[in-house]
Amino acid sequence: MDTIDKLKILSEDSRYDLACACGTARDGHRRRGPEGRWLYPVALPQGGYTVLLKTLLSNACTNDCRYCPLRSETDVRRCTLKPEEVARLFMEYHTRKKVFGLFLSSAVINNADYTMDKINTVARLLRYKHNFKGYIHLKIIPGASEAAIEDALSLSTAVSLNIETPGERHFAALSNKKDYDRDIIHPIKLMGKLTAKGMKFSKVKCTTQFIVGASDETDSEIIKYMFGLYKRLNFKRVYFSAYQKGLGHPDIPGERKFFSDQHESFIREHRLYQVDFLIRKYGFNNEDILFDKTGNLRLDRDPKEIWADNHPEFFPVRINTSDREALLRVPGLGPDTVKRIFEIRRERKISRLETLGLKGKRLEKVSGYVIFE
C-alpha cells in the first residue's frame, strides 16, 4: 500500500479512540475530512479551536484488549506508517492549512517501548526537522518505560493514556496480557507527577479515558477514580467512550449483559460527561453526586437536577444577591449564564429571567429554583 492508502485505513481505525471527540459546542465534534482522515477540534486556552489530524501509526497490535476490534486475534487489514511518512504527510496538510495539530496514537507494535520510540520519533521530526511549534498530542502506550514517557512529555503539548476501567478487577475481564498496576496506574501516576505545578513538564496537558460498559463497572466506581485523577494526579480532562456491542470478544461483560439498548449506553456516557462538568466547572464534590441503588447514575434525569431536588433547603436561590457557587447549583444555569448575571448585576437589578437570554424548557427549569428578591 502507498502512504495515502495506509493513512485511510489507520485514520479510520483511530475512530475507536474517541477522546477529544465529545465537545459540547457544535464546533467541538470530530468530522471526516478529505482522504478519509478524521479531524478533531481542540479548544484553545485563548478561545476558539484548532483542528487536529488524528491517526494511528499502526494497527498491527500484539495486545489482547478484549473490547478492541483491533486486538491481535481479529482478522483486519493491518498496516504501519513509518515515522517519516507521518511527519511528511502532516506537514503537507499543515502547509495547506488543512490541519493545525496532530493527535498520534498506535496499536502496540512488538512492545510498548518499541512503539513509543516510533511515536516519539514522529514528534521529534516535526519539532526539530520541520520546526513545527504547534499542537502535538501523543498517546502513551500502556507499559511504557519512565524514560519513554519523559521523552514524550518533552516533545508534546498533551499526552494521554487510557485508564480503561476503574480498578484491577474490571480490567482483568478485558485483558489477560496487560497488568493494571504496572502498565496503567504506574504510568498515569508518573504522568501526573511530572506535569504537576512547578515541575519540568507542568505545561503539558494530561488526559485519560474510560471504556464505559465493556466491563461491569458502576458509575460510582468510575466517578471515584475520576476524582482521584483530577484532585491527586493533576489530570486536565477525563473522557468516556461508550463500549459498542459487537466490537469485542463475545465473553466480555459488555457483550453479555448490562445495557441491551445501545442508545442507553450513549446516554450513560452523556451522564458521565455531565458529572465531569459538575466537578470541573460547577464545584461539585464526590458526595454531591447521587446514584441509584445499583451505584449508577439515573439515565432519565440530569445529575445536577437530582442534587437540587434532594436539597430543597438550598433553594430558592436569590438571583440578585447570591454568590457564584450558589448560582451554579441552579439547574439550567451554567458558567456563561452566571457570568452574564454578574455583568448585569453591576448595572442594575434583574427582574426577569428573559433578561439573561433564557427561553423554553431551560427558562421553565430555572424559574422553579430562583427568586427575584
pLDDT in tens, 329-364: 999 999 999 999 999 999 999 999 999 999 999 999
Exposed e or buried b for every residue in 31-43, given b needs 16+ CB within 10 A?
Answer: eeeeeebbbbbbe
Q: Please, which contacts does 284-290 make with residues 24 or more away whose CB atoms are closer than 8 Å?
A: 286/223, 286/224, 286/227, 289/220, 289/223
Residue with cell 517519516: 84
pTM, full prediction: 0.87
Please choose, from the candidates 250, 294, 241, the residue with its C-alpha nearest in 3D space to the C-alpha of residue 269.
241
3-256, CATH topology level = TIM Barrel (3.20.20)
Amino acid 263: pLDDT: 78
Q: What percent of the chain has pLDDT over 90?
A: 73
Give the residue-averaged pLDDT of 117-132: 98
**In angstroms, rounded to a whole number, what is the distance separating the alpha carbons of residues 71 and 221?**
26
Give the residue-averaged pLDDT of 101-114: 94
Quick: pLDDT tens for 148-198.
999 999 999 999 999 999 999 999 999 999 999 999 999 999 999 999 999
Higher-scoring residue by pLDDT: 302, 16: 302
pLDDT band of 260, cuts 50, 70, 90: low
Give the residue-averaged pLDDT of 199-214: 95
Bridge partners, residue 205, by sequence: 158
Give the residue-averaged pLDDT of 26-32: 46
Of 16-30, 77-91, 189-203, 213-227, the poorest mean pLDDT is in: 16-30
Contact indicator for 256, 248 with CB cutoff of 8 Å: no
Amino acid 98: pLDDT: 83
Q: Residue 344: CB partners within 8 Å, gap ≥ 6?
A: 350, 355, 356
Q: Which CATH architecture has domain 311-371?
A: Orthogonal Bundle (1.10)
373 exposed, middle or buried (CB, 10 Å; 0-12, 13-18, 19+)?
exposed
Give the Å distances, CA to CA, from 346 to 138, 218, 327, 340, 343: 45, 45, 16, 10, 6
DSSP-derived secondary structure for 159-190: EE---BSSSHHHHHTT-SS--IIIIIIHHHHH
Amino acid 127: pLDDT: 98
The strand ranges marked E within the chain are 31-32, 38-43, 49-56, 101-105, 135-139, 158-160, 205-212, 237-242, 317-318, 370-371
Same fold, 3-256 and 311-371: no
At residue 289, φ and ψ (nearest 5 deg) are -90, 120
Give CA 43 to chain center in angstroms: 13
> Where along the chain do its domains lie?
3-256, 311-371
